[in-house]
Amino acid sequence: MTTKHIACIGAGYVGGPTMAVIAMKCPQYRVTVADTNTSRIAAWLTDALPIYEPGLLEVVQAARGRNLFFTTDIAGAIREAEIIFVSVNTPTKTFGDGAGKAADLQYWEKVAREILREARTDKIVIEKSTLPVKTAQIMETILNAEGGRLHFEVISNPEFLAEGTAVRDLLHPNRVLIGSRETTRGLIARQEIVDIYANWVPAGRIVTSNVWSAELSKLVANAFLAQRISSINSISALCEKTDANIREVAHAVGMDERIGNRFLNASVGFGGSCFKKDILNLVYICESYGLSEIARYWEAVLTMNEYQEQRFVRTMIREMFNTMVGKRIALFGFAFKADTSDTRESPAIYVGRKLLEEKAVVVITDPRALENARLDFAGVDGRIHFAEDPYDAARGAHAVALLTEWELYRSLSWEDIYQSMEKPAFVFDGRNILDHKRLHEIGFNVYPLGAPPLTHFHDRGARRGGSSGY
């Protein structure tokens, strides 16, 4: 059997783990992951991988040097491969037409032109990054610009992995979606990609479609997931005004099999590299087709998320006697979710910035994301500190704001933390994971999300009365 060569351009959160799993599960393929970022590639070659993902190191170690290779030689990787996955970043445009909404496709287009320049044989080019619908068409236009010297078949194979569970999601996906043109060559290329995943994914979970459906499905899946979080977060605000408790409401609502119980955890807001970007993409696409009502409908999911972040900080300020000046606030967790080092679009960034604007002293602790947190606050000095140890972060603080649901925060000695803090001591639980009753018994003034606060003040009811405007 001849060895097939797969290349992946982009060694980030998507490309790295996806290729590691393909290489581990398909020893008959030679997989080369290429990136222009030399330090990232260097890190993939060590056991200090450039991203933190539970179980990833074991998968990489199983295949690295056998049939999994990392390189900065983009041209070489393109030439060798029959199949090229592209998983470069596609951030939201920050300039020009569509700024703040449309996807910035400059990295993608650059890769397409590189493929065209370097290719000496026909290629199957696979969109792995999330892209706006019809990007495949643009890629085809660029790739076939030289009038048929070679044939490029563009396939959409969107990645549904979530960070923190990437390896599990890749090994046991709900579905793998492969979209192609429905021409003879398109269907042959589609089968080539199906054959890769068929090495470990049951046939029933490999779904094929046309290219546009595949591209749109990724945006829609993320929009639906984000919508659930915004929906439950909207109700958390109402619960705080009444005697309802969001955990009880979510439990009761989620037991309806038609609704289901996943993604109903109220939070300080959703973050991550995908939700906001993909919804903005969806909004932009709807607008460009003249569907302004549909655009506004999906935009509201984002508005709700911003409101939730603002609401969280406003509650802190209001409850801490309307001034944060000089107060030390410990942020427990900075990653956008647990089990990742990623801080992209993390609600903690917003919370940290706002507290700094209020002239608080902010101390950030996180078991994996401190390095990224430092980058997020590069250039800000004086009132921002970083602590590996949560006990150090809390010492002398007026408040703890829990922003990432790291398991370790549940099992801390909150008695010790209370003793070391300024009094009155506050806990704002932006993830609703702590035992609020117990914290209150220890002496904290506790502010859960979506439930009445547990304080040692006597005028609490008056403050909740609804006249504050929040």
Q: Tell me the catalytic residues.
A: 274
Strands 4-9 and 29-34: parallel
Q: Is 330 in the site for ligand UDX (CB under 6 A)?
A: no
Q: Is 37 in the site for ligand ADP (CB under 6 A)?
A: yes
Q: 12 touches which of ligand ADP, ligand UDX, none (CB within 5 to 8 A by kind)?
A: ligand ADP
Q: Is 272 in the site for ligand UDX (CB under 6 A)?
A: yes
Q: Which is nearer to ligand ADP, 9 or 229 (CB)?
A: 9
CA distance 418 to 396: 10
CB count, 10 Å around CB of 66? 13
Q: Which is nearer to ligand UDX, 17 or 390 (CB)?
A: 17
Q: Is 17 in the site for ligand ADP (CB under 6 A)?
A: no
CA distance 275 to 278: 5
Write down the least CB distance from residue 429 to ligand ADP, Å: 28
Q: Is 40 in the site for ligand ADP (CB under 6 A)?
A: yes
CA distance 319 to 426: 9
Q: Is 7 in the site for ligand ADP (CB under 6 A)?
A: no
Write down the least CB distance from residue 373 to ligand ADP, Å: 17
CA distance 351 to 334: 10
Q: Is 143 in the site for ligand ADP (CB under 6 A)?
A: no
CB count, 10 Å around CB of 324? 23
Q: Is 139 in the site for ligand UDX (CB under 6 A)?
A: no
Binding to ligand ADP by CB under 6 A, coded x per residue (else -) over 83-112, reads: ----xxx-----------------x--xx-
Q: Is 275 in the site for ligand ADP (CB under 6 A)?
A: no
CA distance 406 to 52: 14
Q: Is 270 in the site for ligand UDX (CB under 6 A)?
A: yes
Q: Which residue bears the tokens 């470990």?
A: 200
Chain residues binding ligand ADP by CB under 6 A are 9-15, 35-37, 40, 74, 87-89, 107, 110-111, 129, 273
Chain residues binding ligand UDX by CB under 6 A are 159-163, 222, 225, 229, 263-265, 267, 270-272, 274-275, 336-337
